[in-house]
Structure 1
Amino acid sequence: MKPFALPATRLRRAARHRFGWPTLRPEQLTAMRALLRRRDALVVLPTGAGKSAVYQVPATLLPAPTVVISPLLALQQDQITALNDRGRPELRAVRISSAENAGQRAAALDDIRHGRARFLFTTPEQLANPDRLAEVRALRPALVAVDEAHCISAWGHDFRPDYLALGQLINQLGRPPVVALTATASPPVRDDIVARLGLRRPRIVVSGLDRSNLFLEVANCATEEVRWRRLVALLEAEARPGIVYVPTRRAAEELATRLTEAGFPAEHYHGGMPAGAREERHQRFLDDQVPVMVATSAFGMGIDKPNIRWVAHMALPDAPDSYLQEIGRAGRDGDPARALLLWRAEDVGLRRYFTGGAPDPDQLRDLAALLRDGPLSRKALRERTGLGTRKLGQLLALLERVGAATTLADNQLGSPRYAPAPTDAASAALAEAERQLAVQRSRTDMMRAFAETMGCRGQVLLAYFGERLPNPCQHCDNCHAGNVEPPGAAPAADEPFPVRSAVRHPEWGPGLVLGYEADRMTVLFEEVGYKTLSVPVVSEHGLLVPVPD
C-alpha cells in the first residue's frame, strides 16, 4: 500500500465537514499528516486540547477501520457517544469490552467488518485474548490509537501492567501505523512509550503544556491546621465544583467528612472502594451532583468535565507528571481556574515511603527461572508465584529491561533465546530497580523545587518536561507578587548548552539539558534522575561537557 500524503487542506476539509471543526491547531495537523504518511506519532497535548481529533480526522480518510485502545470504559463511552451523536455512518463507533456480552461483541465486529462502523474501541485485556486478537487482526486495521499512553510506562503515575504487552499485540495486528496519546509525559516517559510500543521513527508532538487560564499558587503550611484553614479559604472564595487531592485513602474519607460537617458538602473517592461505588461517584461528579470531590490519584482519567473551577493538593504530589495531569482537569472551558498546592516538609518523607524499596532478588530470580521454562500466561505466572497482578507486572517490566523476559505469541511470556541466567538476571534487574528508585526520588525533589521556587512557577514546571517558556508565565503567585522580572526587564541568563542537548557529568554520567530558569538549569541524568544546577558553578568548574551526536 502506498503511503498517504494528502495535503493539509484535505484534513482541514474533513475536520470541517465531518466534525464541524472550522480550524485545526498546528500541532494537531502535524501529527495527522504523519499518520496519513503511515508514520507513527507520539502526541503530548494537555487535557482538552483535542488529542482525540488527531486520530479521528485521519481515520475518515483511511481505507480501513481504526482501533482505539483505552484503559477506562467510562472514557471510551464518552468518546463513542461523541462520535455516534454526530449521526454520520463514517463516524460510527462500536466497542468490544467486558461491558458487552458475547452477542454484542460479535455484532460490533460484524458492523466493522461490513463498513457500518469505522472506529473499534477496546482494552488491552481484550486484545490479550488470542481469539479476540485474531478477530481484530482479520479486520486489517489501518490505524491504532493508544489513549492514555503514559500507562505503559513504569515512570507514569498510572502505570498499568496490562499495557506492557501492547507493542507485541499491535505487531500481531499487522503493525499498522500507531499514534500514542497522552496529556502529560516527561522525557523518560516519552522514551518508555516509544520503546514499549515499538514506535518506528515516531513524529513526536509536544505542545500546549502551559495553561494561561490556570493560576498556579503554592503555600508552605507550618501545621495541619494552617493547611485546613487555607483550604477553607479557597472554598469560601471560589465557585464549585472542585477537586481536592490527598495522598491516602484514609485522608480522603476523613477530609470529605470534615468538609461536609463544616458546611462544604463533599464526597470521597479512592481505589479501595468497590468498582460500582467508584463508577457511581464518578458519574455524580460529572453530573454536577458532587460539588467537592476529595480523592486520591485514583480519581483521574476519564474526567471530561469543562467547568471544574479549582484543584487543590493537600500534600506534595509525587512528581510534576501527576501534578500537571491533575491540575489540568481545572478550567477546561477556558475560563479562569485555580491550582492550589498546600504542602509541608513532612510530605517529602511520606512520598519517600510510598516510593518503596528495591524488589526481592529471590522473587526476581525465581520469576526469571520460570520464564526460562515458559511459555506461560500471566494467570499461570500469578498462580505459580503467588504474586499480585501489579507486583508481577512490575517485576516483568524489570526483567524485560535486562533481557530476561519477553512477550511471545498469543500473549504468552517467556525468556529470550540469549537471556541471562536467573541469578544474573535478578542482579541486573535489581540494579535497574535501584536506578529507577533514584530517578523517582529525583522527581519528588523536582516537585519540591517547584513548591519552593521564588521564580516563575510556569518556567520551572515546563523545564521538567523539557519544554521552554521563554518569558515568565504571568499566571502564578510569584509572577503576580512581583518576585519575577517581567519580560525584557533583565538580560537573558547565560545558557552554556542548548536545551535538549546531550551532556556528561564526571560523577552522574550522561544527561539531557531540559531547560533554564534564571541562573539555574535542569538536567535529566540517566542514572540519577533530575538535577537542578547552578549555571555559574557549571560554567566556572566545567561540570558538564557536551556529548557529540
Structure 2
Amino acid sequence: MRSLLSFPPFHLLHSFRLRRAARQVFGWRRLRDGQLAAMRSIMSGRDTLVVLPTGAGKSAVYQIPATLLPGPTIVISPLLALQQDQLASLNDRGIPQLRAVRISSAETPTQQAAALAEVREGRARFLFTTPEQLADPERARQVRELKPSLVAVDEAHCLSAWGYDFRPDYLGLGRFIADLGRPPVVALTATASPPVREDIATRLDLRRHQTIVSGLDRPNLHLEVAYCSDEQYRWRRLSAFLKEEDGRSGIIYVPTRRAAEELSDRLVSAGFKAAFYHGGMAGGVREKRHLEFSDGEIPVMVATSAFGMGIDKPDIRWIAHVALPDSPDSYLQEIGRAGRDGQPARTLLLWRMEDEALQRFFNGGSPDHAELRDLAALLRTGGPATKTQLKERSGLSARKIAQLLGLLEEVGAADTLANNKVVSPRYAPEPVAAAKAALAQFERRQAVGQTRGDMMRAFAQSRSCRAQVLLAYFGEHVPKQCGHCDNCHVRPGEGVSDDRPFTVHTGVRHAEWGSGLVLGYDGDKMTVLFDEVGYKTLSVPVVRAQQLLVVD
C-alpha cells in the first residue's frame, strides 16, 4: 500500500492535467505562469480574480479547466462582439467538448431554446450570455437547472465601471451566482487597481478568493506623454505622430462623441484615412466601422471609450489619447489594445490641464437626499415591487431608480429577491438614516474616483520611469526602469533613490486618513493607497520630517 506522502500534491496533479488538456485539446505547448496559477485555483474549487494584460490569454484561464470539470461553464461578458469572437475561436476547432452556444438579444427565442437544450443534453460545454439576460427570473431559473460547474465573468472591471449607473444588471450577478448554489467563480479583467479589485470581489461575493495579478508591464509598448499648451499645439503633435506611423492601424481616443466626429472630419480634410466611432451611432453603422477597422480598410479610428472591448486585431501599431483619461485603469485598458502580436507599438498621450475640468463634468453631481429618502420610504411601505413599478410610483427615470437602488442596497436599505422584485429588508435603517448612509457611500466612492484622476495626472507629469509609476498604481512592483518610455530614454537613472522610509507594499497608517498601502515612489514623492480616501501622493521629506506615517 502506498503511503499518502507518496501521492503528488494536488496542485502538482492539477498542473499536470491542465498542461495535458492545453496540449491535447487546444494544441498549446506551454502555459504562462499567471494562467497556470489561476487555473490551479479554479481546479481547487476556489473563487479566483485574474488580472492579466490584453492578449495574455485570459480566455484560456476558464476554457482549459472547463474541459476537466463535470458540468457546463457559464460565461458572462458585456459585449456581443466579444462573445462572438470567443464563440468562433471555440467552435472553429471542431472539437465536441469545446462546443459553445449563446443566449442573448441577438438570438431568436427558438435559437435560445435550442442553445439551452444543447447544454442540458451535454452537447455543448460553454454557454455565453450577458448580465441583462440573467436579470430575467425565468432565464436565471433555466440556467440554474443546467447545474454549472464554473461561472466565468469576463471584463469584470465593468462591474465597477458600469454597474452603478450604466448597466445596473451587473449588480445582480452576485445574487445570481448565489442562487446557482455557489459554483466556483473566476472573474477576469485586463486592468483593475486594488479598489476596483475589492469592488469586484464584493459585488460577486467572492469567497476566500485568490487574486492573480501578472505581467501588466508590456515591454513592446513605448510610452510617450506630451503636455500641450493649447489645442493647436496638440493638433500639430498628433499630425506629426500620424505621419510617422504612415497609414499603420491605430486608435485615437477622445472624451466625447462630438470630439470624435470633429477630429475625424479634420483628419480626413488633412489627408488621413480616418473614421469615427461612438456609442451614439446606429448598431449597423458601428458594426460596419468595426469590421472596416479590423480588416485594415480604415487605419485611423477616432473613438470614445465605447470602441475597444471585442476588437480582436493583433496588429494595432499605436494608440493615441488627445485628452487625459479618467484614470490609469482606463488608460492601461486602452493602450493594451496595441501590439497584441508582441511586435513593437507606440502609445502617445497628449494632454492639457483643461482635460480635468471635462472629467469633473462627466462625474456629475451627487444623488438627491430627498429622492433617496423617499425611495427608501416607498420600499418600506409599498411592499415588494419591480423596478418598473417603482419608476411609476416615484416618478423617477429608470436610470435614476437603478442608481439609487444600487446605493440603498449597499447600505442595507434595499434587497432584490429571486423574482427580481425589490424589498426593504427586515432590519433596514429608517429612510432618513438610509439616505444619509447612501450619500456617504456615494461621496466615499467619488473621493476615491477623484484620487484616480489625480494619479492619472501624476503619471502624465512624472519625470521618472512611466512603467514604474503606472504599475505602482495597480500594486505591481517594477524593480528596475522599464527602458520603453520617453523618460527612460531621455533621462536614464533619474528619480531612483534608495532613501525610502518604507518598502513597497508596506502597510502604513496616517493619523487622519487611516490605514494604507505603499504602492511606489517617484523621485522624492511616494504614492499610498488609503482604504477610505483613495490614492494620495506625499512628499518623502515631509513624511520623514513630520513622521506622517507609521507601520500599520
- Structure 2 residue 99 is matched with structure 1 residue 62: no
Once the two structures are superposed, the pairs formed by residues 488-499 of structure 1 within 5 Å of their partners are 492-499=497-504
Q: Percent identical across equivalent pairs?
A: 69
- Amino acid aligned to 1:175: R
In 2, Cα distance between equivalents of 1:223 and 1:250: 19
2:323 to 315, 330, 339: 315
Q: Given the superposition, is the C-alpha separation of residues 392 and 183 from structure 1 closer, same or farther in structure 2, using an over 3 Å criterion?
A: farther
- Amino acid aligned to 2:520: G
Q: What is the match of residue 168 of structure 1?
A: 175
- Structure 2 residue 112 is matched with structure 1 residue 101: no
Q: Given the superposition, is the C-alpha separation of residues 262 and 459 from structure 1 closer, same or farther in structure 2, using an over 3 Å criterion?
A: same
CA drift of 1:422 comes to 1.1
Q: Provide, for residues 186-215 of structure 1, a one-character-per-residue CA deviation record: whole Å limited to 9, x for no partner.
A: 011000110110100111001111110001
CA drift of 1:74 comes to 0.7
- Amino acid aligned to 1:362: A
1:30 partner SS: helix
- Structure 2 residue 130 is matched with structure 1 residue 123: yes
CA drift of 1:351 comes to 1.4
- Amino acid aligned to 1:83: L
1:35 to 32, 39, 42: 42
Q: Given the superposition, is the C-alpha separation of residues 296 and 317 from structure 1 closer, same or farther in structure 2, using an over 3 Å criterion?
A: same
Q: Given the superposition, is the C-alpha separation of residues 272 and 526 from structure 1 closer, same or farther in structure 2, using an over 3 Å criterion?
A: same
CA drift of 1:439 comes to 1.6
- Structure 2 residue 475 is matched with structure 1 residue 470: no
Q: Provide, for residues 58-83 of structure 1, a one-character-per-residue CA deviation record: whole Å limited to 9, x for no partner.
A: 00000111000111111001000000
Q: What is the match of residue 488 of structure 2?
A: 479
Please list every run of 5 or more consecutive structure 1 residues that lacks an aligned counterpart in the other structure.
Answer: none
In 1, Cα distance between equivalents of 2:367 and 2:418: 28
Is this contact kept in 2: 1:247–1:296, CA < 8 A? yes
- Segment drifting more, 273-282 vs 252-261: 273-282
In 1, Cα distance between equivalents of 2:75 and 2:233: 46
2:536 partner SS: strand
Q: Given the superposition, is the C-alpha separation of residues 288 and 256 from structure 1 closer, same or farther in structure 2, using an over 3 Å criterion?
A: same
1:307 partner SS: coil
CA drift of 1:390 comes to 4.0
CA drift of 1:388 comes to 4.1
Q: Given the superposition, is the C-alpha separation of residues 390 and 403 from structure 1 closer, same or farther in structure 2, using an over 3 Å criterion?
A: same
Q: Provide, for residues 86-118 of structure 1, a one-character-per-residue CA deviation record: whole Å limited to 9, x for no partner.
A: 110000100111111111111111111111110
Q: What is the match of residue 505 of structure 1?
A: 510
2:419 partner SS: helix
Q: What is the match of residue 537 of structure 2?
A: 532
Q: Given the superposition, is the C-alpha separation of residues 132 and 504 from structure 1 closer, same or farther in structure 2, using an over 3 Å criterion?
A: same
Q: Provide, for residues 260-298 of structure 1, a one-character-per-residue CA deviation record: whole Å limited to 9, x for no partner.
A: 111102111112222332222222222222211111111
In 2, Cα distance between equivalents of 1:343 and 1:157: 28
2:21 partner SS: helix
In 2, Cα distance between equivalents of 1:253 and 1:378: 36
Please list every run of 5 or more consecutive structure 2 residues that lacks an aligned counterpart in the other structure.
Answer: 1-8
Question: TM-score with structure 2 length normalisation?
Answer: 0.94
In 2, Cα distance between equivalents of 1:320 and 1:268: 24
1:83 partner SS: helix
In 2, Cα distance between equivalents of 1:157 and 1:411: 17
CA drift of 1:237 comes to 0.3
Once the two structures are superposed, the pairs formed by residues 103-252 of structure 1 within 5 Å of their partners are 103-154=110-161, 160-238=167-245, 239-252=247-260
2:276 partner SS: strand
1:272 to 280, 286, 305: 280
1:533 partner SS: strand
Q: Given the superposition, is the C-alpha separation of residues 181 and 138 from structure 1 closer, same or farther in structure 2, using an over 3 Å criterion?
A: same
In 2, Cα distance between equivalents of 1:158 and 1:22: 43
In 1, Cα distance between equivalents of 2:129 and 2:442: 32
CA drift of 1:356 comes to 1.6
- Amino acid aligned to 2:543: V
1:344 to 352, 356, 360: 352
Is this contact kept in 1: 2:322–2:351, CA < 8 A? yes
In 2, Cα distance between equivalents of 1:499 and 1:399: 37
CA drift of 1:403 comes to 1.6
- Segment drifting more, 6-15 vs 394-403: 394-403
- Amino acid aligned to 1:536: P
In 2, Cα distance between equivalents of 1:4 and 1:375: 47
Q: Provide, for residues 24-53 of structure 1, a one-character-per-residue CA deviation record: whole Å limited to 9, x for no partner.
A: 011111110111111110000111100000
2:157 partner SS: helix
CA drift of 1:528 comes to 2.4
Q: Given the superposition, is the C-alpha separation of residues 158 and 416 from structure 1 closer, same or farther in structure 2, using an over 3 Å criterion?
A: closer
Corresponding pairs, count: 541
- Amino acid aligned to 2:541: P
Q: Given the superposition, is the C-alpha separation of residues 441 and 412 from structure 1 closer, same or farther in structure 2, using an over 3 Å criterion?
A: same
- Aligned CA RMSD, in angstroms, stands at 1.9
- Structure 2 residue 292 is matched with structure 1 residue 284: yes
CA drift of 1:449 comes to 0.6
1:500 partner SS: coil
- Amino acid aligned to 2:416: T
In 1, Cα distance between equivalents of 2:161 and 2:311: 23
